[in-house]
Amino acid sequence: MPSPVATRGCTNLQLRLLSHRVDRRYAEALAAVGLTTSQYGLLGQIDAFGPLRPADLAARMGLDPSTLTRNLQGLVVAGWVTLGPGPDRRSRQAVLTDAGRALRLQARQAWKQAQLALNAQLGLERVARLHVLIAECTAALDAEGGAPDAKV
């Protein structure tokens, strides 16, 4: 009878350590163009699905509305996003400005370079296996009854 597979330490800690190392690489790449990873995510969602109401953006990203408002405000102040009129008098919609769209394109290149560097260091086969494993684990956790998280 084969022996059971042994785990090595706390799964949460292992995932956090890996996530921190990976996130730092993307954060450094985006810092070169003046963005945080959160700001890049917001610009990407607004670019892909905008114009949209901040409440809809928060729901799409799985964020608390107050957190989204705080993060969105920095993009508005920088001139990368505007909050224009919405479909009714009480709502507003987030829209990328031309400067925001240009920055998003520049940041996308920085993001891609970080991804290519990570792929090179880890190896494409390992990265592909990691993606499959993450998808399988996410599906298993979702099947357990947990709510799926927003795709960012």
Mean pLDDT of 136-152: 72
Which residues touch 1 (CB under 8 Å, ≥6 apart)? none
pTM above 0.75, yes or no: yes
Give residue-wise pLDDT tens across range 70-96: 989 999 999 999 998 877 778 889 999
Q: Which domains does the chain have, with CATH numbers?
A: 11-143 (1.10.10.10)
Give residue-wise pLDDT tens across range 35-68: 999 999 999 999 999 899 998 999 999 899 888 8
Buried/exposed code over 55-81 (b: 16+ C-beta within 10 A; e: otherwise): ebbbebbebeeeebbebbeebeeeebb
The amino acid occupying position 64 is: D
